[in-house]
Amino acid sequence: MISQFFVLSQRGDHIVFRDYRGEVPKGSAEIFFRKVKFWNEDEAEEAPPVFNIDGVNYVHVKVAGLFFVVTTMVNISPSLLLELLQRIARVTKDYLGVLNEDSLRKNFILVYELLDEVIDFGYPQTTSTEALKSYIFNEPIMVDAGRLPPLGPAAMFMQGTKRMPGTAVTKSVVANEPGGKKREEIFVDIIEKISVTFSSSGYILTSEIDGTIQMKSYLSGNPEIRLALNEDLGIGKNSSSTHDYRSSSGGGSVVLDDCNFHESVQLDSFDIDRTLHLIPPDGEFPVMNYRMTQEFKPPFRVTALIEEAGPSRAEVLLKIRADFPANVTANTITVQMPVPSYTMRASFELEAGAVGQTTDFKEGTRRLEWNLKKRLLVVPSIPFVQSSHFPRRHMETSQKKPDQ
């Protein structure tokens, strides 16, 4: 049972607010934002997604720089509320085309119309983009796609002219093309999060891939889609692998530890030919989520060397090497290195000739940040970092740009 739902900007401004039951005191949004912004309990850098203040349970997720929050006075499953918030954000993006502060402000009438159908008197009803079409009558006001940031993680390794147009996946599911026509399109993205732990000498200690096959459909008539995966795809750690997936070419079989599928996916022939049959619903949805711990060759290799340069100084040499082919580029790379909590300041020096690189010391999170915006295919340059700790302790850090 939900008491309130609201969306806040990064500054704490109200963008959307709906009080369903009137049982939570006024000012809950301000209380939530102050608590999250100045969170200092348990020595954590950020507030947890669920916490309680004066008997009010706050559950939130951060999507596209916005806080989606629900409050409740009763003991309800946090997982349910977190999933509901993610689905509300996804449905909102499906109807607006773009999810950011500007699009929410321009389409607040449509957003409230969606909320009235998704939640009724604090009880979730439906979060299906397709089912909501029968009850939504407002047209979205489209945001200029030219002002949007680059594509997300999926765009990191896109090659040259093959990059998807910026407006391809920022359309609303209820908006038509100029002239009243609708283009029959469907987009599929494979997004993977790679977690790798390296030893000081650069050897891989642990490695894991969390991936999802994301689909966004603009097809009319509910056609059936067949999505074919590798025929030698194995599921479960006991599955046999007949090929060496560790080769640099990436060929061979893939063994997944576990996976799950969207409710629209039919698995009748999956065990036979690894084909997924589905009737895609409108909007964006994950076709398949998977996890893999099979040994693989990561796109980057990291080596670190730490030496004491004095009683109050340390020198860290961090080297990152790009191991992907030369015809693939990586854009907008960010390297972060945490430093002790008592670090007071840091200074950087870039080697002569370093282009498209920036460095910064984030005092709030005590992190050194190194940004590279271009491809990683040249001889490395060396940023130099010097930071001092309390009481009067120093650390020197030199980092090298990835080389190929």
pLDDT, tens digit, 9 for 90 and up, residues 69-97:
999 999 989 999 999 999 999 899 888 88
pLDDT tens digits, 124-149: 998 888 888 888 888 888 776 544 44
Range among 214-218, 276-280, 359-363 rated most confident = 276-280
| pLDDT given for residue 44 in this prediction | 63
Return the closest-CA partner of residue 84 out of 59, 64, 121: 59
Rounded to an integer, what is the distance from CA 142 to the centroid of its chain? 23
All structural domains of the chain: 4-133 (3.30.450.60), 186-238+252-292 (2.60.40.1170), 300-386 (2.60.40.1170)
| pLDDT given for residue 144 in this prediction | 64
Which residue in the block uniquely carries the two structure tokens 């020096």? 349
CA angle 321/322/324 to nearest 5° reads: 150
Q: Residue 248 pLDDT more than 60?
A: no
Helices 108-118 and 78-96 meet at what angle, rounded to 10?
Answer: 140
Q: What is the mean pLDDT of the chain?
A: 77
**Residue 162 banded pLDDT, cuts 50, 70, 90:** very low
**Residue 343 banded pLDDT, cuts 50, 70, 90:** confident
**Residue 384 banded pLDDT, cuts 50, 70, 90:** very low
- Taking CB atoms within 8 Å and a gap of at least 24, the contacts of 381-384 are 381/350, 381/351, 381/352, 381/353, 381/354, 381/357, 382/350, 382/351, 383/348, 383/349, 383/350, 383/351, 383/354, 383/357, 383/359, 384/347, 384/348, 384/349, 384/350
127: left (phi over 0), alpha (psi -120 to 50) or beta: alpha
State how far the alpha carbon of 143 is from the alpha carbons of 93, 102, 173, in Å.
Answer: 12, 8, 14
**Residue 252 banded pLDDT, cuts 50, 70, 90:** low
Q: Residue 283 pLDDT more than 70?
A: yes
Q: How many CB atoms lie within 10 A of CB 12?
A: 14
Which is it for strands 300-310 and 313-322: parallel, antiparallel or unpaired? antiparallel
Q: In the β-sheet with 313-322, what is the strand arrangement from edge to edge? A: 300-310, 313-322, 393-403, 384-389, 343-349
Contact predicate 288/260, CB 8 Å: yes
Q: Which two tokens stand for residue 190?
A: 């494979």
| pLDDT given for residue 378 in this prediction | 37
Return the closest-CA partner of residue 1 out of 72, 83, 85, 59: 72
| pLDDT given for residue 180 in this prediction | 57
Contact predicate 295/207, CB 8 Å: yes
Contact predicate 203/224, CB 8 Å: no
| pLDDT given for residue 154 in this prediction | 42
